[in-house]
Structure formats: structure tokens, C-alpha cells
Amino acid sequence: MKQSVQDKGTLLLALVAGLSINGTFSAVFSSIVPFSIFPIISLLLAAYCLHQRYQNRTMPVGLPGLAAAFFILGVLLYSTVVRAEYPDIGSNFLPAVLSVVMVFWIGFRLRSRKDDITE
């Protein structure tokens, strides 16, 4: 049970890191999105926590792929939200569709991983 909670924490940190890296990039390099220091702070904290987890714990089989998927999902979700808020950047159709595809793929992988653990 404890390993499952740690795995969920790693996946949540990967999602936050994805959101933060896109937020930092948008805040620093986009003139349309207003600057904020908070995405930079959250990116540094999420990257530090992920690095500590990587150094101190062994990752079970399949978790690095899921963490990468959660990271990409965070990048896509932030892009979708920002493009909906600031339509001058462009359409949010492609990031929204890719986000939905990623959610279904992650759900499929989590379900198959749970089935593998119970066997």
C-alpha cells in the first residue's frame, strides 16, 4: 500500500513539473501571458522533489513511462488552458485532443499495471 501512495506522488509531481515548465516558458518568453514568479518556483520545487525520489527510491517497472506521460499531459493541459484564456496565441483544439488521448492512454496503462500487480 505504501509503495502505491509513493507512486501516485511521483506521478503527481511529474504532472506538476509539466504544468510548471510550460508555465515558466510562457511567463518568460510570451508577451501575451503576464509574467509570474510562481511557475518558476513550482518548477524548481517539483524538479528537486522528483530528483530526490529518483535518488532515494527504486522505481517499479512501468513507472518511468507513466511519469513521462503525466509530464506530457501537464504540458498539454497548460497549453490548452492558456490558449483558451488568450485566443491570440492560437487554437487549443490540437492540445485538447492530445490531452484527451493521453488521459485515455494513461488510464489504460494504469489499469493494465494494476492487473499485473494483482496477478
Dist. CA 33–CA 82, nearest whole Å: 8
pLDDT in tens, 55-106: 988 888 888 999 999 999 999 999 999 999 988 888 999 999 999 999 999 9
Measured N-to-C along each axis, helices 63-85 and 2-29 cross at an angle, to the nearest 10 degrees, of 40
Per-residue H/E/C for 21-37: HHHHHHHHHCCCCCCCC
Residues 6+ apart with CB under 8 A from 91: 83
Tell me the CA distances in angstroms from 39 to 17, 24, 44, 55, one per residue in order.
9, 5, 9, 24
With 0-12 CB in 10 A as exposed, 13-18 as middle and 19+ as buried, what is 31? exposed
pLDDT in tens, 5-52: 778 999 999 999 999 999 999 999 988 889 999 999 999 999 999 999
Give the model's confidence band at 1: pLDDT under 50 very low, under 70 low, under 90 confident, else very high.
very low
